[in-house]
Amino acid sequence: MRPARAADLPEVIGLDATVTGLHKADYWQRVYRRYGVAGQGVRHFLVAEYGGRVVGFIIGEVRDWEFGSPPCGWVFAIDVEPRVRQKGVGTLLLGAIRERFERVGVRKLRTMLANDNPLILSFFRSQGLRAGRLIPLELEIGTADGTEAGAR
Ligand SMILES: CC(C)(COP(=O)(O)OP(=O)(O)OC[C@H]1O[C@@H](n2cnc3c(N)ncnc32)[C@H](O)[C@@H]1OP(=O)(O)O)[C@@H](O)C(=O)NCCC(=O)NCCS
């Protein structure tokens, strides 16, 4: 487990594309600039390397006093290469970012996940995460009354 380097980006982009089906090179350049090189101890972009290859990554950040909450460590993304899943790589990645959050005094780790993704739910539950105090709220915007275009 180590911080991402610029040279890892093609592998990270490829790995993300296997999960999302999208090749988002510009997006990953921006993520790297924000989390990879300028983290200053609170932003983390870590990769799992095995046999000279990147086989997984995790991204997260400490956010202070947002949503009325004391500083907490948010995990935004985690991905493990399909061929090496269920061998503990995801657990190691989460452990590595958790350790970095703890180092700066954070006592709560949070994430959000899609409710139609049982795999990621199963993973986070296995790591001890449970439903928390916060609930997400959403609104379709870009229409005058907030209703979804085509829903009327
Ligand atoms: C979720 C993910 C990161 C897990 O990585 P991993 O390296 O396979 O995880 P681990 O081997 O550390 O597994 C830890 C636990 O997670 C759970 N888990 C992992 N894969 C699972 C599966 N296919 N089905 C059910 N539970 C699973 C198990 O409880 C497992 O513990 P066990 O091995 O003792 O049974 C990986 O499957 C992945 O990258 N998924 C797609 C990415 C994704 O959807 N990301 C969400 C957007 S951010």
Over the range 132-147, which residues count as b (16 or more CB within 10 Å of their CB) and which as e?
Answer: eeeeeeeeeeeeeeee
Q: Model confidence at 152, in pLDDT bands (50, 70, 90)?
A: very low
Conformational region of residue 77, where left means phi above 0, alpha means psi within -120 to 50, and beta covers everything else: beta
Answer whether residue 151 is part of any domain. no
**In the chain, how many domains are there?**
1
> What's the 122 CA to ligand 1 centre distance in angstroms?
7
Quote the mean pLDDT of the chain: 91
Q: Which domain holds residue 35?
A: 2-126
DSSP output for 125-141: HHTT----S--------
- Interval 8-46: pLDDT, tens: 999 999 999 998 899 999 999 999 988 887 667 889 999
30 in a structural domain: yes
pLDDT tens by residue, 37-75:
766 788 999 999 999 999 999 999 999 888 888 999 999
pTM (whole model) above 0.85: yes
Distance of CA 114 from the midpoint of ligand 1 (Å): 15
